[in-house]
Amino acid sequence: FGASLSTALTNGIALLIITCPCALGLAVPAVQIVATGRLFKRGILVKSGDALERLAEIDMAVFDKTGTLTIGRPVLIDADAVDAQMLAMAAKLARASRHPLARALAAAAGIGTVADGAREVPGCGVEAVLDGHACRLGRADWAGAKHGDGHASELWFRMGDAAPVVFRFDDPLRADAGPALEAIAARDVRIEMLSGDREQAAERIARAAGVAEWRAGVDPREKASRVEALQAQGHRALMVGDGLNDAAALALAHVSISPGTAVDATQAAADMVLQGETLAPIVDAIDVARQTRRRVLENFAFAAAYNAVAVPLAAAGLVTPLIAALAMASSSLIVTLNALRIRAGANR
């Protein structure tokens, strides 16, 4: 526009400094780093930054029952009523599984051997050949038995053609499960529970936790199908589960969380891993994820406004390179300080 080479060069340098995309480049990672650090202190390990973005979008939360809403350490309550030999034989199958009920059965039987060739069928149980007899330990229908009338969680053991034997367990609800689910629902998130247990056991936990929508007797394929159906309906579902039978549903969910006590395959499929014995950190994670989204949008808005104002000024020669450098550094500092606001608390 008729300016001298010196003036044009100065204006060009100022413009290049102004348009350095530092603020834009820091807009997302700065917020995500602060957010994941806050959640780490609260007991949630975030495996990827985009998991927070997806968690901020959820409108449903689907929970597994055993080991998720319950503490996952059931206790055998009818050991005295069970034949000692049947308990010892069933324990050989139980030691081949990481299912909470199988662990409880193995603990009640004490130290012993594992059945050779034991094979775990997700959602059903464990089977092997013991003393020449085909044996199964797991769900009642899979072991060839009818459901009991009690409200305890059960494992059924069948050895050959003998009548199935039932083992009953009690797995108490996590201390903060009710308040945590209530807090999640208060954030406009619909709650649903899916359980592989029979109806009586699932209903008892659902009532205690205050869950109105629940399904019992759901196998791994049905859990995954339910999550797919919710996604097809336009829902963005959070899946929380710990068992091997939850892995497929966790992978299909919009975002997923697994307790730290879960099996390796389940933790690998989840986007976040929950440490500790409480569910309260999930509420914090939802709050932090939503605040993270707000901070990212604020940073983008600021970066856009900064460039919209500063670039024309620099091009017109109203900004020197020194002022441009100060403005560029200040924009990065403002974006970083805005990200640090997450440390002050998820509700601010």
Q: Are strands 237-240 and 255-259 parallel, antiparallel or unpaired?
A: parallel
- Taking the C-alpha atoms of residue 86 and residue 93, their distance in angstroms, rounded to an integer, is 11
Residue 115: what residue type? Answer: A
Please say whether the beta carbons of 85 and 94 come within 8 A: no
- Which residues are part of the catalytic machinery? 64
How many other CB atoms sit within 10 Å of the CB of residue 242?
Answer: 28
What DSSP character marks residue 56?
T
Which of 71, 83, 34 is CA-nearest to residue 174? Answer: 71
Let me know if 325 is exposed, middle or buried by CB neighbors in 10 A (0-12, 13-18, 19+): middle
Q: What is d(CA 230, CA 227) in angstroms, rounded to the nearest whole number?
A: 5
Nearest to 297, CA basis, from 98, 65, 31:
31
Alpha helices, DSSP H only, in the chain?
Answer: 5-18, 22-26, 29-42, 49-55, 84-94, 100-109, 177-185, 199-209, 220-232, 247-252, 264-269, 280-315, 321-340
Q: Is the dihedral of CA 53, 56, 62, 64 positive or negative?
A: positive
Residue given tokens 């020197």 in the structure block: 320
Amino acid at 344: A
